[in-house]
Amino acid sequence: MADSTRPNPVLARVVRDGLVESVHRGSIVVTDGHGTPRHELGETRSPMYPRSSNKPLQALGMLRAGLDIGDSDLALACASHSGEPGHEKRVRDLLHRHDLDVADLACPADYPQHDASRDDAVRHGPGRSRATMNCSGKHAAMLATCVQRGWPTSGYTEADHPLQQTIAATIAELAGEPIGNTTVDGCGAPLLAISQVGLATAFSTLTRATDGSPARVATAMRAHPWLIAGSGQDDTLLMLSVHGLLAKGGAEAVQAVALPDGTAITIKVDDGAKRALAPVTVALLRNLGWDGASESSRGVLDGLASGAQQVLGGGQPVGGIDVPAETVTGVTGATEP
């Protein structure tokens, strides 16, 4: 986070009927195709919590620990899914194939984030479930790793468990820096702090990989964007709209994306407001020369960029989210094939 005496720059402005209503400050890193930072805005080198943006790195750690699963299950391990029936079924199937049950998950029970699925869970049961909690795919994969390696499943979220030690070593290696702090994430798994630069470097590594476990993670995410988030969710929409993109957001307004040429972007919004992320992400991608692959996908990106559905008056859009030119100044150079 920024020093309070030197605040981070404004990344996005909420504009209602032509008047700026509020602003979101934050920081940005953009790497070149080799994972080296070439553009930094704001404080980017202090430890921060990537939250769920760490999930693809955690999944890579599981592969390095010996996890053997197919690409769709690997995508689920990287996911912050919205708890739709297809997500829940895949979580339960992964558990059952390893003689595990939903009760073995250490993540808390929660309602689906998908509106219709949440309404159905409330009206018809079962209400909150660990299987519909957005991190349940990661937890199911962690448990599967333990079963396959013969490690205890009890205590699998403890920082000194061999699985978590392997994951921590993997994240530190990919980030190119030591772990800045270790705490507990909202899902109960260890949360490892690295810098925005480190997060961008790690995502660049995933998309530059041509073989091995890093390439497997990237391939799985690209092949199954719906599993990564869900219907109407930003990460899924971004990956469906921009060819070859990896996208993984995290709580408290963190976003990491990486392009096939190795260019990576990380964004952190200081106040934790997720609504600023998609407009800033799309603006940066477009400045880099990457846009939707079709007219329909460009329309999806237009919707994400404007944020109009988040600035309503009487249920109708009366404004949007504006990204100042200063936010993207100097972010150019990549071209879409």
- Asked if the structure places residue 17 within a domain, the reply is yes
Domain that holds residue 232: 10-65+155-321
Residue 62: alpha-carbon gap to chain centroid: 17
- CATH number, position 27: 3.40.710
Q: What is the pTM (predicted TM-score) of this model?
A: 0.95
- Tell me the C-alpha distance between 198 and 241, whole Å: 26
- Asked if the structure places residue 16 within a domain, the reply is yes
Considering its fold, how many domains does the chain have in total? Answer: 1
Strand partners, 181: 193
- Asked if the structure places residue 221 within a domain, the reply is yes
- Asked if the structure places residue 30 within a domain, the reply is yes
- Asked if the structure places residue 1 within a domain, the reply is no
Give the model's pLDDT for residue 4: 52
- Asked if the structure places residue 250 within a domain, the reply is yes
Please state which of the ranges 4-13, 16-25, 129-138, 178-187 shows the lowest mean pLDDT.
4-13
Strands (E) located in the chain: 10-16, 19-31, 37-41, 181-184, 190-193, 246-250, 254-258, 264-269, 312-313, 316-317, 319-322
- Asked if the structure places residue 333 within a domain, the reply is no
Kindly report the backbone phi and psi dihedral angles of residue 200, in degrees, each rounded to the nearest multiple of 5, phi listed first. Answer: -65, -40
pLDDT in tens, 226-253: 999 999 999 999 999 999 999 999 999 9
Going by the DSSP 8-state scheme, the letter that residue 335 receives in this structure is -
- Asked if the structure places residue 222 within a domain, the reply is yes
pLDDT in tens, 62-106: 999 999 999 999 999 999 999 999 999 999 999 999 999 999 999
Q: What would the mean pLDDT of 249-267 be, rounded to a whole number? A: 97
Residue recorded with tokens 């390893």? 98
- Tell me the C-alpha distance between 119 and 2, whole Å: 39
